[in-house]
Amino acid sequence: MTEKVIAVSQSIFGVRAQDVLNLDPSKAKNAYFDGFISLRPKWGLSFIDTGSTIQIQHSIAAPFGGWGGQADTSLAWNGAAILDLVSAPGGDFAYLATVGDGSVANLVALDLADGSVEPLLNLPGAQKLLVGRDLSLYAANKEKLTRINLYSEPPSFYTVFAPSSFDALAFDDKAEEVVLFDRANRRFLRYPFHLDSSPQITQASDLPLGVEPLLSIDPLTRKYWLVDQGNARFYRVDPTNGAVETIPLPGVNKPSSIDVDSLGHLFVVDQGRLIEFAAGPSGYAEVSGSPWTGRSAGAIFRISRNRTNADDTMVAPAWRNLLPEEVQGLVSSEQVPDCQNQPLVEHYGVGKPAPNGQIPTISASSMPMLGGRLGVAISGATPGVLPFLALGLQPLELPFDGGFLLAVPQWLLPFEGVVGASGAAELSAPLLPNLALCGLDFYAQVLYRETGAGGPLDTVQTRGLRLRIGS
């Protein structure tokens, strides 16, 4: 059974929603059913060197219903000079590569709520950072690329040396690739995210880049955005064939950063000013009313985007998600609470036989579980009779018509038609996924009239059936 949990995050940055599957209530462990969803406001991350202090800017737009409000968080940074910074996927903290001793950079984690800094490890030669969708962190210089798993104990590393020097890198979520750009040879080196095979190469010979480029990838189209910083030229490259488009961005003179969000909007820093662009009928233009445009930003600006770490290669047939039309009538579409009780079905009391001396059998047509059905079936009944279900919340042993009434009849329900030739019939109703029903006992008995059964009413009576709602 699952429980939908929606809770405010302990951080200031959003709301978390998840489906929880508690397989063993005796153990304080939950599994996650189908997925984990984190809902966060949109954020941007940058830093500005003011001389003696570096201010980390963590700007947050209104999370729902437009751009109504926004907030800024500026955190004092009195540490070493920053080479690069990237936001962790959840947005609660940032990874920073700072200048260390000689050729070794220091990797630190900066808590964006309180400004606390946690030293993580040293990165020899690192100049740039990148975060993949599986939470891997990548550190790079112009020759080598290292994948770092910070969640293993101790952290693990996997390093590859590129076949040529590279100048920029980005992560392609859809292709699950780390993309490097080799400016000298006008080509892209595309590594699988785990880096354990040789790179695929996309040649883009028409790129007229002159100085150190910037690279970002549109998560919608997978197209590569390259910026020629010195000449303020923007290029969009098709990774399938290397075709190059020159894209004018009006008003940009000296770009120092480019990033693309989940909508395909461009975020460009031009001489310390942030600008948001979106495609329109006549090309790219500034987004009207953007809360980002006009803000001060450092040389590097990162915008949040929607991401998932789902791995399609792990989805075997047994894990296949069912389409809605495939589960109609099989399971409840409601979220099913986690009920700690086990379902229970047991007989009690004695029945009253039919004229042939046989007592019809009462049973549960399905296990009584939240989100399922509460069902009672009979077998061995006389064809053509109309049974009634006496259902209540208390058992009974009251003499009645030569037998015993075994359930307080809070509900007396006729079956849907007479018993067929097989002598079997069933009556059921849905059990809502309401925790108030968890552990509740229902008591049931089936009765019907048949001439010759005896007693003033000639009733035939089954034994009693106790049904406890569980999961």
- Domain CATH number, residue 392: 2.60.40.10
Q: Answer yes or no: is 330 within a domain.
A: no
Indicate if the alpha-carbon torsion angle 406, 407, 413, 417 is positive or negative. Answer: negative
Q: 363, 26 in Cβ contact below 8 A? A: no
In this structure, are 23 and 92 located in the same domain?
no
Domain containing 136: what range? 40-313
Residue recorded with tokens 């600008």: 275
pLDDT in tens, 295-326: 888 888 998 888 776 665 554 444 444 455 54
Residue range 263-291: average pLDDT?
Answer: 92
In this structure, are 106 and 192 located in the same domain?
yes
Residue 416 has phi, psi (to 5 degrees) of: -85, 80
Residue range 344-348: average pLDDT?
Answer: 92
In this structure, are 135 and 170 located in the same domain?
yes
* 3-state SS class at 314: helix
In this structure, are 30 and 72 located in the same domain?
no
Residue recorded with tokens 């004092």: 76
CA distance 69 to 371: 40
pLDDT at 52 over 60: no
Two tokens at 178? 């780390």
> Looking at residue 18, what is its pLDDT?
44
Residue range 76-81: average pLDDT?
Answer: 74
Q: Answer yes or no: is 327 within a domain.
A: no
Residue range 200-210: average pLDDT?
Answer: 87
Residue recorded with tokens 């209530």: 25
In this structure, are 48 and 153 located in the same domain?
yes
Residue recorded with tokens 């405010």: 8
> How many domains is the chain built from?
3
Q: Answer yes or no: is 339 within a domain.
A: no
In this structure, are 237 and 123 located in the same domain?
yes
In this structure, are 70 and 95 located in the same domain?
yes
Residue 412: how many other CB atoms lie within 10 Å: 11
Q: 468, 343 in Cβ contact below 8 A? A: yes
> Looking at residue 9, what is its pLDDT?
35
Q: Which helix (H) or strand (E) covers residue 104, if one does?
A: strand 104-111
In this structure, are 44 and 24 located in the same domain?
no
Q: Answer yes or no: is 329 within a domain.
A: no
Residue 268: how many other CB atoms lie within 10 Å: 28
Rg (CA), the chain: 33
pLDDT in tens, 153-180: 788 899 999 999 999 999 998 888 999 9
Looking at 260, 295, 313, which one is the last position of a domain?
313
pLDDT at 331 over 50: no
> Cα dihedral angle (4, 21, 321, 172), rounded to 10 degrees?
80
Cβ contacts of 329 within 8 Å, gap of 6 or more: none
Kindly state the percentage of the chain with pLDDT values over 70.
78
This model's pTM is above 0.85: no
Residue 301: how many other CB atoms lie within 10 Å: 23
Max CA pair span of the chain: 105
> Looking at residue 317, what is its pLDDT?
43
Residue range 80-102: average pLDDT?
Answer: 79
Q: 349, 465 in Cβ contact below 8 A? A: no
In this structure, are 8 and 136 located in the same domain?
no
Half-sphere exposure of 253 (CA within 13 A, CB side): 3
Q: Answer yes or no: is 62 within a domain.
A: yes
DSSP 3-state percent helix, strand, coil across the chain (nearest 5): 5, 45, 50
Residue 317 has phi, psi (to 5 degrees) of: -55, -35
* E strands present in 352-440: 361-364, 373-379, 388-392, 395-400, 403-407, 411-414, 425-430
**382 torsion bin: left (phi>0), alpha (psi -120 to 50), beta (else):** beta
Strand pairing class (395-400; 403-407): antiparallel
pLDDT at 10 over 50: no
Q: Answer yes or no: is 205 within a domain.
A: yes
pLDDT in tens, 353-385: 999 999 999 999 888 888 788 899 999 999 999
Q: Answer yes or no: is 321 within a domain.
A: no
Residue 126 has phi, psi (to 5 degrees) of: -70, 140
Q: Which helix (H) or strand (E) covers residue 216, if one does?
A: strand 213-217
Two tokens at 415? 């079956």
Going by pLDDT thresholds of 50, 70 and 90, the confidence category of residue 246 is: very high
Summary mean pLDDT of the chain? 81
Q: Answer yes or no: is 200 within a domain.
A: yes
Kindly state the percentage of the chain with pLDDT values over 90.
44
Two tokens at 211? 């100085």
In this structure, are 52 and 137 located in the same domain?
yes
In this structure, are 362 and 228 located in the same domain?
no
Residue recorded with tokens 């047994």: 318
Sheet of 224-228, strand order: 213-217, 224-228, 233-237, 244-246
Residue 197: how many other CB atoms lie within 10 Å: 9
Residue range 402-428: average pLDDT?
Answer: 91
